[in-house]
Amino acid sequence: MLIFNRGFEFAMGLLYLVIMPAVFAQNISDRQLAVDLTNPLAKIITVPFTFSYTPNINPNNTGNALAMVVQPLIPIRINPGWYVISRTVLPVIRKTNIFPASGSQFGLGDTLQNFFLAPNKKSGELLWGVGPTILIPTNTGQLLGASRWALGPGGVLIKITGPWTVEVLVNHIWSGKGGGSPHSLSFTRALSKVAYATKNAWSLKLEVDPTYDWEASLKVVPITFSLNKVLRIGKQPIGMGASIQYFIPTYSEGPKGFGAGVNITLLFPNCVGWGKKDREC
């Protein structure tokens, strides 16, 4: 419970820091916000909270994982031509029997920090960003993370054509031996996504998100379909949605079959340093 309270306090503190500079939202249509929700290089602050369930872990299919993931995405304007996107992924996890008879573990997982340096492109142009991906050992249990630092390059390509968004994101992280393990870390992720935003601010998204472990010669391949809706509470826009996930069986110890998730995303269109002309809203 203490771990959960600390994680909750951290998330609320981060949320406070995000909200304060963005109290007054620009007049951006809900449909445009639905498109922005599918774009990791969008020039708005978003704070998603995702709750997910992953079943059928271990050879006996008796393990599972529950997770709450906070993923604040913050654009930082450098000059009229360039900006940096900061994307932090902080999970709070409960794992049960991920190995046979391994019992239950609850706490913080490792934090994944991404930075993308991107040019300030106009709508309809090919968007891209490159930068480092950093794995930070914030895990509070041995089975909740790697217990070591890792670093590598990352890049993203995005094309938005009307209501359609197509994205390809690739990163690789590597570390030396440590964290109580004789092996180093070497993981490659290659995400492909297509999304569509309707006129009434619904968005549909299909993504394939494989990760390959080069040290163990293993891969995890989830396919996710999600449905989201932008709505407003007063003047505050938020996104709400649900997803269905299918894990292609690739090895006996890994997740298999269907999982599910729900999410809520706080949207703050008025980013510090971004004028209406910069954002083209």
Q: Which residue, chain included where needed, has tokens 């709505």? A: 231
Range of the domain at 176: 2-279
Please, is 174 exposed, middle or buried when counting C-beta atoms within 10 Å of its C-beta (0-12, 13-18, 19+)? middle
The predicted pLDDT at position 20 comes to 45
The predicted pLDDT at position 117 comes to 97
Alpha-carbon distances of 138 from 23, 59, 86, 114, 179, rounded to whole Å: 30, 28, 18, 15, 12
Q: What is the CATH number of the domain that holds 29?
A: 2.40.160.40
- Residue 176 binned pLDDT confidence (cut-offs 50, 70, 90): confident
Q: State pLDDT tens for residues 182-218.
A: 578 999 999 999 999 999 999 999 999 999 999 999 9
Work out the mean pLDDT of the chain and round it to a whole number: 87
The rounded Cα 265 to chain-centroid distance in angstroms is: 11
How many domains does the chain divide into? Answer: 1
Please give the span between the terminal C-alpha atoms of the chain, in angstroms, as a whole number: 43
Alpha-carbon distances of 81 from 76, 128, 219, rounded to whole Å: 12, 13, 38
Q: Are 75 and 91 in contact (CB under 8 A)?
A: no
- Residue 7 binned pLDDT confidence (cut-offs 50, 70, 90): low
Please, is 80 exposed, middle or buried when counting C-beta atoms within 10 Å of its C-beta (0-12, 13-18, 19+)? exposed
pLDDT at residue 249 tops 70: yes
Question: 18-27, 85-94, 110-119, 251-260: which range is least confident on average?
Answer: 18-27
Q: State pLDDT tens for residues 149-169.
A: 999 999 999 999 999 999 999
